[in-house]
Structure 1
Amino acid sequence: MHAELVITGAAALSPYGLGVEALIEGLRAAPPAYAPVDGALCDGPAVARVPDYDARELLATRSVANFDRLTLHVCAAATQLHQRMGLADTAARQAQVPDERVSLVLGSSGPLQSVLAFDLQAIEEPRYVQPSIYPNVVFNVPASYAAIRHTIRGSCITLTDGDASGLIAFSVAAAQLESGRIDLALVGAAEEATPAYALYRHSLAHQAGVPAQPQVEGAALLALETAGQAQRHGRATLAGVFGCAHVYAPGRAEQGLAACLDKLRRRFGTLLDEVGTVALAPELDAAALGLGDCRRLALAPRLGASGTLYGAFAVLDALADTRVAPGELMLVLQGGDHAPCAALLLQKHQGLMA
């Protein structure tokens, strides 16, 4: 059985630097450097930041003064992805895929720092709130700026449904492609290291009664299209994507993930029995999910908690792992107690790096 959808490109910003290569080489070397967030409004968690980069040079524009940190990361990832795919020239991209047939689907916790800054200014000086900073409080604005820069007009969606949003984004993008509405989807996630984001993660941990885990910021975007289109344009495929299932789990994470696997099994039958590798958080029981015999890839011990970035980062990690052979089926699973859970079934086509 061959997947009708394929991943044909990838881009990433991580605490290890710009680019997928920097991410993979960093994951092979050591955990990133965590540090308290400057101006943090709470005691922790420590966050590993993306190293400073020249956004004006990378984006080839000086019009970034009103961009917040999250917007810069999303725009940088989108630009990087177009460059890696040889589609940096707008006309060249349009010759292959019209603007109206391209979408961007992003998972994120959102521009929390911009929201907080706007709210505080409205409280302190309601008559002098700057209209120029208002757009950044809209959660879909970072993705929208990236879409405008690359004339993406099919759709632009930001999912803010918890940490699994970055993985659920694959489900939304796949549905767009399978319905015939879209020919090329840029799908992934982004997070920012800011005082507001640190407070958000601290609050989630406090509510769950657990210590706040070290966090990472960054962005990751992958190109998803049909296998037929990739072949027509001579694009090599990194992986085939069979499908993604997601549910809201009001109980234990294992129960929610089991429900996701049931959804995939109803669609793909015994194909799930051939899965050889699973990406799963260390605290979750693979045996309880019927995956005890699979090779297990654990991203968190090497990268810390990555929020919505986990889905895309885990896919890149699996594609770069030399223990996972081309042709092998993989599952990327993500979920938490009383939180959305998601499962992505894919097949490795070729290694991401030599």
Structure 2
Amino acid sequence: MTMTFSASASATLNRPVITAWSAVSPYGIGKDEFVAGVMAGKDATSVLDSGEWAAPDDRACLVPGFDLREVLGRKGTRSMDRVTGLAVTAVRDLLRDSGDRRTGGDEQTALVLGTTTGSAQSMMDFTRASLVGERPFYVDPSLMPNAVMNCAAGQCAIWHRLKGPNTTIAGGRVAGLSALSYAAGLLRAGRAETVLCGAVEEFSDARAWLDHHRRSEDAAGALLGEGCAMFMLESAAEAGHDGRALAEVLAVESRVYSGAGLRPVLDACLGGVLARAGVGADEVVSVSASGLAGRAGEEEREVLTARFGARALDRAPSLDGVGDTSGASAALQIGSVLGAAGRGEPAGGIAVISSVDDDGLVACAVIRTLAG
């Protein structure tokens, strides 16, 4: 199966552009904290409180001081889980940053959120309550919504009164790029005038143990991270004329590989996305690799270096300092590229975002950054 989106030269006026973005990351709440941490190469690793966490590792990359009631207030947060809180916070900051410049009103604003599974912790807690309770139905009904994968996206819409299409895309590490492609499709089809898209991942004991048991030996020692990055996507025809556009989304493509077939599939995906974007490899200024731990990550970097050169990869900020953010990783990669362009490093140009999931998915996006 191949997911594709392209915006050819003949459709320039309908090309989606990113007009605002936000981030919640192990560097703190807000895109400014994220950009500062990424550009400085800061290590966001912290020691886990054994009284709060029961994970197999004693360190992780957590959003510092992320207490739901302190960040979002007491109303409506009693039963909210962590992944939902991260997403609601990122959407809040995105809407604050854009102010009244949004093209579409609440009725015309869609939301597309990428994830791995939603909250693994909520799913396991709810299932466990059914198994250990005196009766299988002796569970807290207020926790049921958290166990549904699209809970975070739904809560984002409810909290912020967004009434357009609401979609959750489960895609693992490539979820951010899958969400970007889906969002562009909504704009093209006229289903929305503005789309808020991005991806989220929480840290939890459940996720940590699942990762501990599934992680391959060559990826042992990688620390988990968490976060959320959200982007406002609008049509260039509506938002491109007033200087709000930060980047143009030229093309997105994804493919599936199996076994040892990563190299040829990733290379073909890169070739396809560049062709759809209408740019050559020599025009690419920076390349953001997913940084997946283990052999798959090494192969990804080798393929990218062979096509674009080591210098292009070095220009993109590294996200090693925030750990393995899994479902949020590709969205945070886009944020790091936008943040670097905003600081003039480099000052605009063609950027490629590559995402590899060791479950057999690869995705690539080509964007033209305009900030700087």
TM-based fold match above 0.5? yes
Secondary structure at the aligned position of 1:27 is classed as: helix
| Aligned residue in 1 for 2:6 | none
Q: Which moved more, 1:15-24 or 1:54-63?
A: 54-63
Contiguous gaps of at least 5 residues in structure 1: none
Q: Distance in 2 between matches of 1:132 and 1:275?
A: 49
CA contact (8 A) 1:186 1:223 kept: yes
Q: Distance in 2 between matches of 1:226 and 1:203?
A: 43
| Aligned residue in 2 for 1:295 | 312
> How far does residue 24 in structure 1 lie from its aligned partner after superposition?
1.2
Q: Distance in 1 between matches of 2:225 and 2:83?
A: 13
> How far does residue 246 in structure 1 lie from its aligned partner after superposition?
0.7
Secondary structure at the aligned position of 1:97 is classed as: coil
What is the letter of the counterpart of residue 345 of structure 1? Answer: V
Structure 1 residues 294 and 256, CA gap change in structure 2 (3 angstroms): farther
RMSD: 2.5
Secondary structure at the aligned position of 2:206 is classed as: helix
| Aligned residue in 1 for 2:3 | none
> How far does residue 42 in structure 1 lie from its aligned partner after superposition?
5.2
User: Could you state the TM-score of these two structures normalised by the residue count of structure 2?
Assistant: 0.84
> How far does residue 183 in structure 1 lie from its aligned partner after superposition?
1.3
> How far does residue 337 in structure 1 lie from its aligned partner after superposition?
4.1
| Aligned residue in 2 for 1:313 | 332
Contiguous gaps of at least 5 residues in structure 2: 1-8, 292-296
Q: Which moved more, 1:30-39 or 1:160-169?
A: 30-39
CA contact (8 A) 1:45 1:215 kept: no
| Aligned residue in 1 for 2:99 | 86
Structure 1 residues 33 and 8, CA gap change in structure 2 (3 angstroms): same
**What are the Cα deviations for residues 216-258 of structure 1, in whole angstroms up to 9, with x where unaligned?**
11111111111121146x4611111111111112144333322
> How far does residue 33 in structure 1 lie from its aligned partner after superposition?
2.2
| Aligned residue in 1 for 2:46 | 34
What is the letter of the counterpart of residue 72 of structure 1? Answer: G
**What are the Cα deviations for residues 103-144 of structure 1, in whole angstroms up to 9, with x where unaligned?**
111111211111111011000012411111111100100111
Q: Distance in 2 between matches of 1:79 and 1:162?
A: 24
CA contact (8 A) 2:24 2:31 kept: yes
What is the identity percentage for the equivalent residue pairs of Structure 1 and Structure 2? Answer: 28
Structure 1 residues 223 and 149, CA gap change in structure 2 (3 angstroms): same
Structure 1 residues 129 and 248, CA gap change in structure 2 (3 angstroms): same
Q: Which moved more, 1:146-155 or 1:33-42?
A: 33-42
What is the letter of the counterpart of residue 254 of structure 2? Answer: H
| In the alignment, structure 1 residue 242 sits paired with structure 2 residue 250 | yes
Q: Which moved more, 1:287-296 or 1:186-195?
A: 287-296
Mapping 1:257-296, distance limit 5 Å: 257-280=266-289, 281=291, 283=298, 284-286=301-303, 290-292=307-309, 294-296=311-313
| Aligned residue in 1 for 2:265 | 256
| Aligned residue in 1 for 2:110 | 103
